[in-house]
């Protein structure tokens, strides 16, 4: 249909939607929307709006302010006002959700920098100033814990945890005595406490946030309890570092199955299982309810969030405990060799993690951790005289470079779609070996055998 307007060489196409009916019209470019509606005899009580609910003034010019092919909705005044309000609210929610990761990761960066400065002794030596900074970090962590969920459970929870850990480290830094144990205890406890607050406050409204914050709370409180037990039993804290470093590789391998938590009652219809005799004390099994699409989507979101969280935590665990392992490897002897083998096992296990994760940083972080591990190991070997007597650092660096080139060349046909069952089996065997022996080698490299033989007596 065409509009009864003067013929022009330049025309524009519009689609009018009124009471569920569509009308496609051709109008000359340069006329106002009000004139088009008046020529189409549109009732004056109908207001032109965009599909998002934004009102279109009648003075807008077709072809310039209203683009060619635009869709114009004609709605009553009260409906268009509500639609505009809903559209504005939806746009605001989208903008807040897009800003949420930026705000969260900025908070994590600030907390990490302040924690590092406190550990290295760069911050003020005034006890009052340190405690004030700790209180400020705790307040910011509490505010982040109470933030509404914006669809990014990992970054939002990690911001809370980072501020809590920073507050605990600053509290320990206010005590200028030997603070190895109390720094770890305060950091883990404060992070776990703030994660518990977010789990209790925001968790019931969002399942991914509930599981992520629950995992962070469990890690924080269990870590603080383990280190407190070591302090009470006068066990050296390096054994805690060794245990944390050694357990990273097997946990990384177990992440795909560990992340998804699916109840057994959703997989097995217990009511249809034939039993020889029912127990008097046993509850009568109910029939299996159908699994809805919403429930399946929630399970996938929760599993994906936990996979991303634990990847970040395990990579941070390896980076944080790597100095202690390299220090043990630099002592030489059998224990030093075992500590070095443990570092190599962790590196290979992280290098062989799957490359098919959805999030880019989940694919990149383990391999970036391996690169940092290689650089730090080469630096330690170059500065250690005991190792230089047997292995020249340039030889080690050359060996690692050749190994990296071999891996790169082998990955080219794999990226082009060629699959090799032999390489797959070799990778699986090597990864299983590294994950199995990473923890025993780490503990033996720290001297757990000597500790058991002497009963902790020096």
CB 215 within 8 A of CB 310: yes
Tokens at residue 326, please?
Answer: 């390299």
Give the pLDDT score at 195: 93
Q: Tokens 């070591």 correspond to what residue?
A: 230
Tokens at residue 263, please?
Answer: 């109840």
What average pLDDT score do residues 144-164 get? 88
CB 34 within 8 A of CB 62: no
Separation between Cα atoms, residue 212 and residue 206, nearest integer Å: 10
Q: How confident is the model at residue 275 (pLDDT cuts 50, 70, 90)?
A: low
pLDDT-wise least confident of 192-201, 386-395, 412-421, 442-451: 386-395
What average pLDDT score do residues 195-211 get? 90
Q: How confident is the model at residue 423 (pLDDT cuts 50, 70, 90)?
A: confident
| Percentage of the chain lying above the pLDDT 70 cut | 75
Residue 272 has pLDDT above 80, yes or no: no
pLDDT-wise least confident of 36-45, 63-72, 201-210, 266-275: 266-275
Tokens at residue 373, please?
Answer: 């591990």
pLDDT-wise least confident of 175-179, 346-350, 353-357: 175-179
Q: Tell me which of 177 and 420 has the higher pLDDT.
A: 420
Strands 11-18, 70-76: pairing is parallel
Q: What is the dihedral angle through the alpha carbons of 92, 97, 100, 101, rounded to the nearest 10 degrees?
A: -150
Q: Over the range 209-234, which residues count as b (16 or more CB within 10 Å of their CB) and which as e?
A: bbbbbbbbbebbbebbebbbebeeee
Separation between Cα atoms, residue 95 and residue 129, nearest integer Å: 37
Give the pTM: 0.70
Separation between Cα atoms, residue 24 and residue 36, nearest integer Å: 12
- Per DSSP, helices labelled H in 120-237 are 127-145, 153-173, 180-201, 207-232
Give the pLDDT score at 233: 84
Q: How confident is the model at residue 108 (pLDDT cuts 50, 70, 90)?
A: confident
Q: How confident is the model at residue 266 (pLDDT cuts 50, 70, 90)?
A: low
Separation between Cα atoms, residue 201 and residue 196, nearest integer Å: 8
Separation between Cα atoms, residue 365 and residue 342, nearest integer Å: 20
Separation between Cα atoms, residue 73 and residue 302, nearest integer Å: 39
Give the pLDDT score at 99: 65
Q: Tell me which of 456 and 298 has the higher pLDDT.
A: 298
CB 346 within 8 A of CB 243: no
247 burial (CB, 10 Å; 0-12 / 13-18 / 19+) is: middle
Give CA angle at 153 (147, 155), nearest 5°: 85
Give the pLDDT score at 259: 79
Report residue 358: phi and psi, to 5°: -75, -45
What average pLDDT score do residues 206-217 get? 91
CB 300 within 8 A of CB 256: no
Give the pLDDT score at 397: 66
Strand partners, 21: 18
* Cβ-based neighbours of 4, under 8 Å, separated by 6 or more: 39
Tokens at residue 252, please?
Answer: 């990384």
Q: Tell me which of 380 and 199 has the higher pLDDT.
A: 199
Q: Tell me which of 306 and 96 has the higher pLDDT.
A: 306
Give the pLDDT score at 199: 93
């Amino acid at each position: 249909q065409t509009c009864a307007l003067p013929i022009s060489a330049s025309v524009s196409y519009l689609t009018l939607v009124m009471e569920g009916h569509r009308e496609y019209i051709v109008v000359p470019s340069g006329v106002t929307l009000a004139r088009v509606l008046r020529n189409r005899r549109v009732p004056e009580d109908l207001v032109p709006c965009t599909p998002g609910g934004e009102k279109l003034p009648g003075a807008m010019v077709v072809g310039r302010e209203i683009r060619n092919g635009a869709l114009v909705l004609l709605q009553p005044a009260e409906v268009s006002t509500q639609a505009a309000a809903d559209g504005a609210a939806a746009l605001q929610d989208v903008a807040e959700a897009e800003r949420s990761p930026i705000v969260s990761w900025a908070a994590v960066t600030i907390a990490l920098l302040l924690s590092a400065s406190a550990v290295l002794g760069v911050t003020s030596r005034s006890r009052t100033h340190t405690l004030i900074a700790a209180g400020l970090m705790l307040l910011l962590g509490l505010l982040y814990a109470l933030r509404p969920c914006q669809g990014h459970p990992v970054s939002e929870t990690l911001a809370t945890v980072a501020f809590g850990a920073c507050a605990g480290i600053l509290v320990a830094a206010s005590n200028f005595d030997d603070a190895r144990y109390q720094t770890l205890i305060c950091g883990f406890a404060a992070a776990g406490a703030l994660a518990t607050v977010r789990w209790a406050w925001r968790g019931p409204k969002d399942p991914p946030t509930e599981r992520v914050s629950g995992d962070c709370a469990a890690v924080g409180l269990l870590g603080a309890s383990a280190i407190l037990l070591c302090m009470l039993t006068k066990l050296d804290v390096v054994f805690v570092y060794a245990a944390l470093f050694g357990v990273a590789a097997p946990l990384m391998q177990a992440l795909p199955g560990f992340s998804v938590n699916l109840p057994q009652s959703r997989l097995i219809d217990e009511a249809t299982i034939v039993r020889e005799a029912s127990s008097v004390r046993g509850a009568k099994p109910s029939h299996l309810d159908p699994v809805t699409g919403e429930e399946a989507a929630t399970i996938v979101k929760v599993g994906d969030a936990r996979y991303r969280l634990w990847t970040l935590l395990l990579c941070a665990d390896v980076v944080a405990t790597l100095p202690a392992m390299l220090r043990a490897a630099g002592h030489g002897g059998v224990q030093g060799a075992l500590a070095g083998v443990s570092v190599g096992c962790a590196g290979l296990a992280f290098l062989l993690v799957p490359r098919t994760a959805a999030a880019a940083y989940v694919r990149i972080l383990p391999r970036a951790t391996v690169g940092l591990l290689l650089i730090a190991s080469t630096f330690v070997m170059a500065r250690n005289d005991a190792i230089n007597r047997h292995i020249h650092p340039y030889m080690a660096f050359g060996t690692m470079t050749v190994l990296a080139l071999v891996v790169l060349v082998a990955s080219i046909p794999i990226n082009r779609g060629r699959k090799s069952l032999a390489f797959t089996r070799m990778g699986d065997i090597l990864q299983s070996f590294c994950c199995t022996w990473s923890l025993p080698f780490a503990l033996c490299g720290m001297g757990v055998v000597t500790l058991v033989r002497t009963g902790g007596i020096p």
